[in-house]
Amino acid sequence: MTTDQAKPRNQSSSLRRALAVLDHVRDHAGARGVSLTRIADDLDVSKSTVLRLAQPLIDGDLLARDRETGWFRLGHGALRLGQAYLSTLDMRSVAADPLRRLQHLAGETCHLVVYEAPDVVYIDKVENEHNVRMASRVGLRMPAYRTAVGKAVLAWLGEDDLQRVVAAGMPARTERTIIDPARLAAELERVRLTGYAVDDRENEPEVRCVAAPIFDHTDRPVGALSVSGLTSRMTPARVREVGPMVERAGLEISRVLGSSRPFRRRPDRPRHDTSRHDPQEGNQP
């Protein structure tokens, strides 16, 4: 009985070690692959152990080994698994828990959108606990240039995508709406630097919104999520607090969608540092 009980544990240990080999090849194999020696050295195991663990993965087409060099790379079975995984993903389902956690942390209304040029389309919404509710609704379509979620997506798209938005027109919604393409381009540069976008009363007169992009498995932005609130609660200082929360939630969802974009380390700022100004001062009309 003791032997029978130990067998599953040994098999489980071997499986974990084989998966470690697979992960190492995934992370380190370039165009040529990765050598047996490097895998053994990095995982601190013998070459014979690597070969033993890799053989079932090769048999299952998850790994492939070059006949001439002996180097390893991912096999076409890994691609099939990835495609099967991606085919089951639905952004709304994937984002549901992170969106609700974000709403709990921020205490304001949270939105989820997909990008359909030149607009964003709202596909989910988690309301705040305040009496005043946002006018947004699931299914609503909004021009990307005047929303935080839209700017969060546009910041990581190419120039052609931006020009398509500009060509669709940029009429003012409020007195603070950015209607100059050059100013919009400058704003998108700021978004890339901070990691999140801000709509400072550009779409609704008394509402500030903070948004971050969601990337797919090709690291292309396909949507965004946001936190929105009345300016009385979403002050510039609160925007700077919420921004990193939204960015992290967006990257969390992106990871599930297959994105490889890393989480960014943010330097700690002294509490007495008052050098940073209102992030939206440059949006004055």
Report which of 245, 229, 242, 237 is spatially closest to residue 279, judged by C-alpha positions. Answer: 237
Residues 115, 122: Cα–Cα separation, whole Å: 9
Predicted pLDDT of residue 20:
93
Average pLDDT in the chain: 86
Q: Which CATH number fits domain 13-85: 3.40.50.970, 3.40.50.620, 1.10.10.10, 1.10.1060.10?
A: 1.10.10.10
The 10s digit of each residue's pLDDT in 195-252 is: 999 999 999 999 999 999 999 989 999 999 999 999 999 999 999 999 999 999 999 9
Whether the pLDDT of residue 276 is over 60: the answer is no
CATH topology for the 89-257 domain = Beta-Lactamase (3.30.450)
Q: Where in the chain is the domain with CATH 3.30.450.40?
A: 89-257
Whether the pLDDT of residue 182 is over 50: the answer is yes
Residues 36, 40: Cα–Cα separation, whole Å: 6
Choice between 53 and 88, residue whose per-residue pLDDT is larger: 53
16 CB-near residues (< 8 Å, 6+ apart): none
- pTM over 0.85? The answer is no
Predicted pLDDT of residue 279:
45
Residues 4, 6: Cα–Cα separation, whole Å: 5
Q: Where in the chain is the domain with CATH 1.10.10.10?
A: 13-85
Q: Which amino acid is at 39?
A: I
The 10s digit of each residue's pLDDT in 121-153 is: 999 999 876 655 566 678 888 999 999 999 999
Predicted pLDDT of residue 88:
60
Whether the pLDDT of residue 72 is over 70: the answer is yes
Residues 108, 126: Cα–Cα separation, whole Å: 9
Whether the pLDDT of residue 268 is over 60: the answer is no
Predicted pLDDT of residue 2:
43
